[in-house]
Structure 1
Amino acid sequence: MMSRLVIGVFAALTVPTVTAAPLEAQGLAPQVSTTVVVNEVAPSGPAGEKDEFLELRNISTAPVSLTGFTLRFSGPTCALTTVLALPAGLVLQPANAAGQYLVVTGQDFAGTIYDQTNVLSFVGPDLMRADVGAVALFDPTGRRVDAVGWAAPFRSACPQEGPPARTPPPSLGLSLSRNYLSWDTDNNRNDFNPTPRTPGAQWPEPLARPETGLPR
């Protein structure tokens, strides 16, 4: 069953005046996630800045409820720019099962989502800066579950885990992805690499042909 929801501006808390690093970006020791990870991010795409998406994946062997979880986006100065509250009742299925992903798309997203079980379409401002930025997943208690920061060479992002992932040139239309097993070592530079965009699937290739749903 596909769950496709539209998150409008009303569902986002925009905080443009924050100038210091938020508390979740300060002094936190990295902690490897064993449940849900930020698995792939594309801060922009061929259709522009809002042709963006991020993908969460359940890497555990049991379903995980995302009720009460939030996604928090930060800009180049560590300013917290947008908070998205994930809808109640959203459940990610175990790894390697249909429904293991949540794909959040930007307003101008253009592309194929391979597993469309859980898709949230955000209508509003640009969620992620292409040159430098970060997104973090928080559980209902306020604990940071996972985070990824990306930046061009000689720049930094926060929150991040270890050195930031390196932003690929926007003209290439690539995303930043974990490897096929979604390894999380809490080092964004090592864990994420530029790859073709595969929302709702694992790189190096999608698990099924989108036109048929059959395995490759």
Structure 2
Amino acid sequence: MKKIFTVLGLISATAFMNAQIVINEVYGGGGNSGSTYKNDFVELKNIGSTPVTLSGATLQYASAANAFNQYHPLPAITLNPGQKYLIQESAGAGGTTNLPTPDYIAPVPTNFGSGTNTGAGFAMAAGAGKIVLANNGVQVVSPTDSNVVDFVGYGTTANIFEGTGPAPAPSAANSVARISGDTNNNAADFVAGAPTPQNTTSGSLAVSDVQNAKAGNFVKNTFVKSDEITFGADVKDVKVYNTFGQVVKSASVKQNGTVNVSELAKGNYIVTGTVNNEPVSQKILKD
């Protein structure tokens, strides 16, 4: 998919192409029976290598079978590499927990056609639907439209999606989150799991976080010689921290899946993640 941004600073054309803000996580089960969080949310992320600004953008939503009929604007967003942006959508009657402080609380959506909405944010379906990040307010029809920045069709009944199929079906208990980069294939790029909403302040690790994290056998090769960290379980929201507490790599992986860290210097790192809804961490040495 075309990623269209205003890039901060004077950078090369190659860096421009690599800088991209994508839809990183989608949760439509907020406030439903069996949910933890009270609100739906959409999380964006800069998966590129340079800071980028996206301005004049909108989020647009559609049910699984229908056309995009709702949108709301987004403020100008500037994200550093790896930084996330949390958008709070509609609240429901259920759930027990507020989202982390959202970076943006969605207003009442505007309809492209007739009709009006009264509640703030999209009332997203928990199991199937479509969400698109567009660089303007023009109604999106397909994932290949020129104003599409990123497009996610989720759930088995979604009639439009990027690639060969939709992202897995979420639920009241699960969101769908991006595994790593963007291959423009929703079926391959997303995995269902417990929601992990994060805002722009997420992404630093204190020493106490390492000490209190629950250790487990989730990293199989704590001595990394082949530039690949191998995981022994399905791990959501993998983060690799350097010794300064900065996130230098993030991903989600399947059991026996790997994360390539060839770009990282030799030395010690802390790897954290979520396995079966439990936080885990492991110190590694990259040779």
Q: What TM-score, normalized to structure 2?
A: 0.50
Structure 1 CA distance, aligned partners of 2:29 and 2:240?
A: 24
Residue type of the alignment partner of 2:196? T
2:57 maps to 69
How do 1:84-123 residues align onto structure 2 when only pairs under 5 Å count? 84-87=72-75, 90-96=76-82, 100-108=83-91, 110-113=97-100, 116=101, 118-122=103-107
Match of 1:132 among 122, 128, 131: 128
Distance 1:129-1:207 versus aligned 2 partners, 3 A rule: farther
More strand by share: 2
Segments of 5+ residues of structure 1 without an aligned counterpart are 1-29, 209-214
Q: Which has the higher contact order (CA 8 A, sep 6+)?
A: 1
Structure 2 CA distance, aligned partners of 1:92 and 1:199?
A: 18
Q: How many residues matched? A: 170
Residue type of the alignment partner of 1:191? D
Residue type of the alignment partner of 1:138? A
How do 1:1-216 residues align onto structure 2 when only pairs under 5 Å count? 30-31=1-2, 34=18, 35-45=20-30, 47=32, 51-87=39-75, 90-96=76-82, 100-108=83-91, 110-113=97-100, 116=101, 118-122=103-107, 124=119, 126-140=122-136, 143-152=147-156, 155-170=157-172, 173-179=173-179, 182-200=180-198, 203-204=236-237
The Cα offsets for residues 4-33 of structure 1, whole Å up to 9 and x where unpaired, read as xxxxxxxxxxxxxxxxxxxxxxxxxx5578
Query: After TM superposition, which residue ranges in structure 1, 4 or more long, deviate above 6 angstroms?
Result: none
Cα deviation, residue 189, structure 1:
0.9
Segments of 5+ residues of structure 2 without an aligned counterpart are 4-16, 109-118, 139-145, 204-235, 242-269, 273-287
